């Protein structure tokens, strides 16, 4: 990616190359169809994927979950890496096996856990009816007649631990007997083995229990949310009377659940407590290779002091392995990996960029494995035979992703993927092969088989050429990637122009952004649904632009954490300044500038319209935060500390505190069933605008959550937004 302040001739050449490869020059623009909202939300551009791909233990085969739409069925199929041919169907939904939507093998791969009748609770949590399928005997066994949460097979495949109604149970597959492990679980007070709402949303995990390596113990978390304030939402449904859905939701500065760690001994049936001292949050637990050693990550409330503990399960003694501090906050790592001797691999941005480190089993640093002004963005594993680590990073510019291997000594680094765009990998268990998932702004997802030793391409597995061919018949304009210098920083940007763009004409500018901490919208990857909508608007004569401002990710610690204690302040300044600078382009109509965003982006678009009322003429905010006082503890306090400590940081950027600044056209949208960003945010904004006697438009979607979807909801929402854009920009 070339760095420049305006748009260069080289970008025009890149655009031409895209057009040639896309094949759109074979037809005239007049012959092409415009994308419609019905196309987008009716599935016209459905993309093919490889669902639930997992390597078998032998490293020679992998499994994929396949679905048929008509008749509706699912199958777990095994494939050979070398030939890519299907070896067998291990289990399919027929006869006694119901339609299943996910699967998990036991450690020895003798049994597979199948999920059916799945019912969503919150973002990650699910209830379902689960079955254990014995691969050798082909016997199918139902775990429970009731819907349960987070079932997990024991290492030897003889038992299933799960959670039902906030208590942990163990089901013995051989005998069919079920044993209740905890008894104090109760809605709204005690939760055993699964997380509360705020842990699920912000620490991104639900199962809060783990078997040790030989199945003799289970470590689990217990949440006492007795003193966490209630939150309630009216549910309208089809009932004569609405009812209130209540759950515990700790808003910034309020009391969190008290979290504790416990150990269950399978043989004796006893439960013991583990004393972690002053631990406030416990965001991760993970057993080491030694079945008596459990690792535990803890954080203080400010989340700027992380500790990694080792718990000896024989006596529950706790020792500190290592700790990390930061002036702002420490991110929780998902990539902790224990080697055979329980030395471990750790990911941290302690040197200013996210990198890989090797520690001894005593917690002492051995060496930093990767380094440079780029970020490790994924960790795929460690091959004990070759002493290689496999990872993904931004070494080839922050908008791209590539897969690499490197020795634990930091030497012999090798780039394993060569196509410019977004590359991800699924490695075979023995690290002989990997399946690369590739996409770019011009290429929908491709799946190819490679050698892990050198990245050599072996075979193509699946592509989306049919989709690409279909899109040749539509007006599609390329994303033009560049950077724009704003407030002393070169910010990543893309722009979409109409297919028949004429630099002598003036076009309205419609900006899109999210801007949340560590996020990225400007990325060289294939379309999401918003990209198709933006293409549709470009075909109607709008120029679309997206700028990742300060606070976004993959450009180092300081760039990301500059917004600490002042969320939305600097991000808003960057969007306003970017709009001003783009309006100086000869083909932009400076009097027709709009901006839109969802969630954090809705907060951003609202603030940009108000504080940039001389720059923006319109804005759309979907499910916006309007005060960080209304949002949850873990996310908000990570970036802002508490309202009691930082009242100005909370209030200075809350748009309902300055509704009088509204001059442009404003559309505000929310779902009444949003358990994440509560509709309270929009209601307070609405009231402030009413009392300031400011005209605006708004819509509430009954019972819809933060995603505002279901049935025709998305089609209706995007129709409303499209009409608003056409009317006001």
Specify whether the backbone of 607 is left (phi greater than 0), alpha (psi in -120 to 50) or beta. Answer: alpha
DSSP-derived 3-state class of residue 198: helix
Q: In angstroms, how far is the first alpha carbon of the chain from the final one? A: 31
Span of 43-52, 501-510, 567-576 with lowest mean pLDDT: 43-52
- 29 falls in which pLDDT band (50, 70, 90)? low
* Rounded Cα gap, residues 291 and 598, in angstroms: 45
pLDDT in tens, 290-348: 999 999 999 999 999 999 999 999 999 999 999 999 999 999 999 999 999 999 999 99
What φ, ψ does residue 708 adopt, rounded to 5°? 45, 70
Please identify which residue in the block is written with the tokens 């996409």.
439
Query: Beta-carbon neighbour count of residue 367 at 10 Å?
Result: 11
* Rounded Cα gap, residues 401 and 383, in angstroms: 21
Q: What does DSSP say about strands 54-55 and 61-68: parallel, antiparallel, or unpaired?
A: antiparallel
* Rounded Cα gap, residues 558 and 134, in angstroms: 52
pLDDT in tens, 633-679: 999 999 999 999 999 999 999 999 999 999 999 999 999 999 999 99
| Residue in 442, 439, 404 with CA at minimum distance from that of residue 421 | 439
* Rounded Cα gap, residues 275 and 79, in angstroms: 47
* Rounded Cα gap, residues 42 and 712, in angstroms: 9
715 in Cβ contact with 722 (< 8 Å)? no
* Rounded Cα gap, residues 355 and 165, in angstroms: 40
- DSSP secondary structure code for residue 700 in this structure: E
Question: With 70 as the cut, is the pLDDT of residue 10 above it?
Answer: no
Look at residue 165 in the predicted model and tell me its pLDDT.
Answer: 98
* Rounded Cα gap, residues 136 and 114, in angstroms: 16
Side by side, the strands of the sheet bearing 388-393 are 376-383, 388-393, 402-407, 414-415
| Residue in 477, 481, 525 with CA at minimum distance from that of residue 500 | 477
Domains and CATH numbers, the chain: 9-45+468-728 (3.40.50.1820)
**Residue 397, token pair as written in the block:** 């510019």
* Rounded Cα gap, residues 548 and 568, in angstroms: 13
193 in Cβ contact with 201 (< 8 Å)? no
* Rounded Cα gap, residues 565 and 341, in angstroms: 41
| Residue in 57, 131, 59 with CA at minimum distance from that of residue 91 | 131
DSSP string, 265-280: ETTT--EEEE--TT--
578 in Cβ contact with 486 (< 8 Å)? yes
Question: With 90 as the cut, is the pLDDT of residue 223 above it?
Answer: yes
pLDDT in tens, 398-444: 999 999 999 999 999 999 999 999 999 999 999 999 999 999 999 99
Q: Which residues are bridge partners to 491 per DSSP? A: 484
| Average pLDDT rounded to a whole number, residues 125-130 | 97
């Amino acid at each position: 990616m070339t760095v420049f302040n305006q748009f260069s001739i080289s970008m025009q050449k890149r655009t031409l190359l895209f057009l040639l490869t896309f094949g759109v020059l074979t037809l005239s623009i007049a012959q092409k169809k415009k994308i419609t909202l019905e196309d987008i939300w009716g599935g016209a551009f459905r993309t093919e994927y490889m669902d639930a791909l997992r390597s078998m233990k032998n490293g020679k085969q992998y499994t994929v979950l396949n679905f048929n739409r008509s008749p509706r069925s699912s199958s777990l199929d095994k494939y050979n890496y070398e030939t890519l041919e299907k070896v067998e169907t291990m289990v399919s939904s027929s006869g006694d096996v119901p339609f299943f939507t996910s699967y998990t093998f036991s450690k020895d791969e003798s049994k597979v856990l199948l999920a059916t009748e799945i019912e969503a609770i919150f973002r990650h949590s699910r209830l379902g009816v689960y079955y254990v399928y014995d691969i050798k005997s082909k016997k199918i066994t139902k775990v429970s007649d009731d819907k349960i949460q987070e079932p997990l097979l024991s290492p030897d495949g003889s038992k299933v631990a799960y959670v039902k109604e906030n208590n942990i149970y163990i089901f013995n597959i051989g005998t069919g007997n079920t044993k209740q492990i905890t008894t104090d679980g109760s809605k709204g007070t005690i939760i055993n083995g699964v997380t509360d709402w705020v842990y699920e949303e912000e620490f991104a995990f639900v199962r809060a229990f783990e078997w040790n390596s030989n199945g003799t113990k289970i470590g689990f978390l217990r949440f006492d949310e007795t003193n966490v304030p209630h939150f309630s939402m009216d549910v309208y449904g089809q009932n004569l009377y609405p009812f209130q859905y209540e759950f515990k939701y700790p808003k910034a500065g309020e009391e969190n659940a008290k979290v504790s760690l416990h150990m269950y001994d399978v043989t004796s049936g006893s439960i013991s407590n583990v004393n972690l001292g002053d631990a406030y949050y416990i965001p991760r637990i993970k057993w080491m290779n030694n079945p008596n050693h459990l690792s535990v990550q803890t954080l203080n409330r400010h989340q700027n002091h992380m500790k990694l503990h080792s718990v000896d399960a024989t006596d529950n003694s706790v020792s500190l392995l290592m700790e990390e501090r930061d002036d702002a906050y420490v991110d929780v790592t998902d990539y902790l990996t224990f080697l055979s001797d329980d030395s471990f691999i750790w990911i941290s941005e302690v040197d200013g960029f996210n990198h890989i480190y090797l520690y001894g089993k005593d917690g002492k640093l051995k060496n930093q494995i990767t380094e440079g002004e780029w970020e490790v963005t994924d960790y795929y594993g460690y091959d004990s035979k070759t002493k290689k680590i496999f990872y993904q990073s931004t070494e080839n510019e922050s908008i791209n992703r590539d897969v690499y291997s490197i020795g634990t000594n930091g030497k012999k680094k090798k780039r394993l993927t060569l196509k410019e765009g977004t590359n991800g990998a699924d490695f075979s268990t023995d690290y002989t092969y990997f399946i690369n998932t590739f996409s770019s702004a011009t290429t929908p997802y491709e799946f190819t088989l490679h050698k892990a030793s050198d990245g050599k391409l072996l075979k193509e597995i699946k592509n989306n050429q049919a989709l690409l061919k279909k899109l040749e018949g539509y007006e599609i304009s390329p994303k033009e990637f560049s950077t724009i210098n704003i407030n002393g920083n070169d910010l990543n940007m893309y722009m979409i122009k109409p297919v028949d763009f004429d630099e002598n004409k003036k076009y309205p500018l419609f900006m899109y952004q999210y801007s949340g901490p560590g996020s990225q919208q400007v990325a060289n990857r294939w379309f999401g649904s918003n990209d198709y909508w933006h293409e549709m608007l470009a075909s109607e004569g709008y120029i679309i632009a997206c700028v990742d401002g300060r606070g976004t990710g993959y450009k180092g610690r300081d760039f990301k954490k500059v917004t600490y204690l002042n969320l939305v302040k600097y991000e808003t300044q960057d969007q306003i300044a970017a709009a001003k600078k783009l309006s100086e382009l000869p083909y932009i109509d400076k009097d027709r500038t709009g901006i839109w965003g969802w969630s954090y982006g809705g907060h951003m678009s609202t603030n940009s319209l108000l504080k940039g009322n001389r720059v923006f003429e319109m804005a759309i905010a979907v499910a916006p935060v309007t005060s960080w006082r209304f949002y949850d503890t873990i996310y908000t306090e990570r970036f802002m500390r508490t309202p009691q400590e930082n009242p100005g940081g909370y209030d200075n950027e809350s748009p309902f505190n300055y509704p009088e600044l509204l001059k442009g056209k404003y559309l505000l949208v929310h779902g009444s069933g949003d358990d994440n960003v509560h509709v309270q945010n929009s209601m307070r904004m609405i009231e402030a605008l009413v009392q300031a006697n400011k005209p605006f438009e708004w819509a509430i979607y009954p019972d819809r959550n933060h995603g505002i979807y279901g049935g025709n909801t998305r089609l209706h929402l995007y129709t409303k937004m499209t009409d608003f854009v056409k009317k006001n920009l």
